[in-house]
Amino acid sequence: MAEIKVPELAESITEGTIAQWLKKPGDYVEKGESVCELETDKVNVEIMAEESGVLQQLLANEGDTVAVGQAIAIIGAGAASAPAAPEAAPQPVDETETVMPADRAEQQTPQPVAVAQAPGQRPVASPAARKMAREKGIDLTQVPTVDPLGRVRKQDVASFAAQPAAPQPAPTAAPVSGPAPAPVPAAESGKPVIREKMSRRRQTIAKRLLEVTQTTAMLTTFNEIDMSAVINLRKRKKDKFFEEHDVRLGFMSFFVKAAVAALKKYPYVNAEIQGDEILLKKYYDIGVAVSTDEGLVVPVVRDCDRKNFAEIERDIAELAAKARSNKLSLADLQGGTFTITNGGVFGSLLSTPLLNGPQVGILGMHSIKLRPVAIDEERIENRPMMYVALSYDHRIIDGKEAVGFLKTVKDLIENPEDLLLES
């Protein structure tokens, strides 16, 4: 008999949420086989069994928060046996089944019936139903189902979530002495609402961004870049670039190389504050913000000063694919020295990016728009222009350095051949 515990993951990770059990009680598990998926504030990881045996008992349910070192299951020797819980129903739930029209459903089953669950008993539900219930903050024991075996389906959770909140007159109608009651929340006023539980990643994003705004002296400076030269260069070279390197030439590699050159010129933008000391970093690991369904993540491209355009583009493409398929490792996210984020892919014209602590600088790219530009006193031309923003920690970076940094990026992007000399 042995316990399966939440392993040490990283110094900054102390807990996680059970996202999904991959095994159920009674299943035989090989040593090194994954038994559950754990959602942390940075990545999802699979917890593996440290020895072979039968999974005897689950000590935590899907959606439960568990700490590092906490036992979450018990594994023992012996032959696989059917679990006592009703989850061992032999017939799987077919998530593709068609929901009956309302009139037919009423004729065949007058009303959905919630199957009673014993105290502490886990309701029987499909994985898709559990996932939806977890996202919407719904207690599965409260969801009625028409399944004769009491299994909760995804359709049942969706129907339950779509119902308006039941009125609860008792708490508000009863006379209360003392201070005046608080305003009635929307969910109790009969108004339609949807309540969703924040994912662990979203909670962490919210916490860290709030900490940044409260613990740094953040300021933002702006400039604009004429993208004509980069666009023309890219048009001329992109086909040959793809043939030689099997990766597409985008704008991000130009900005990464320009940022590295500017960081070398203004080293305090590549630093961080540790107590009463400034840590100046002589390496250039650039974080590139990637948007996923669960929130923003910032995987890190290592040693950008030593890589060429093709290597940088390849690393960015691989990290973005891993981020969107939820396969990033902790090593992919740690140790960045400076961050670049591109709101332009979503159509943002101008924004103020928030620092990615403990870093002290972040470069914001935006959408490219044709705008009239004064070439000289007599000529005006339409040029593809991009607003760029540098948010920085004013505690160690002065305005002169910040403006100079952004001006260096602007000059290099407008004269991309100069980047070859900086590479």
Which of 85, 357, 107, 347 has the alpha carbon at shortest distance from 210? 357
CB 259 within 8 A of CB 286: yes
Residue at 370: amino acid letter = L
- Report the distance separating Cα 292 and Cα 101, nearest Å: 35
Angle between helices 309-324 and 252-265 (to 10 degrees): 110
Tell me the DSSP string of 322-383. Answer: HHHTT---HHHHS--SEEEEEGGGGT-S---PPP-TT-SEEEEE--EEEEEEE-SSS-EEEE
- Exposed, middle or buried: residue 168 (CB in 10 Å: 0-12, 13-18, 19+)? exposed
Candidate list 332, 376, 398, 418, residue with the active-site label: 398
Query: Does 398 qualify as catalytic in the annotation?
Result: yes
Measured CA to CA, the distance from residue 85 to residue 125 in angstroms comes to 12
Is 366 known to be catalytic? no
DSSP SS3 for 120: coil
The residue from 303, 366, 394, 418 that is catalytic is 394
Catalytic residue numbers, as ranges: 394, 398
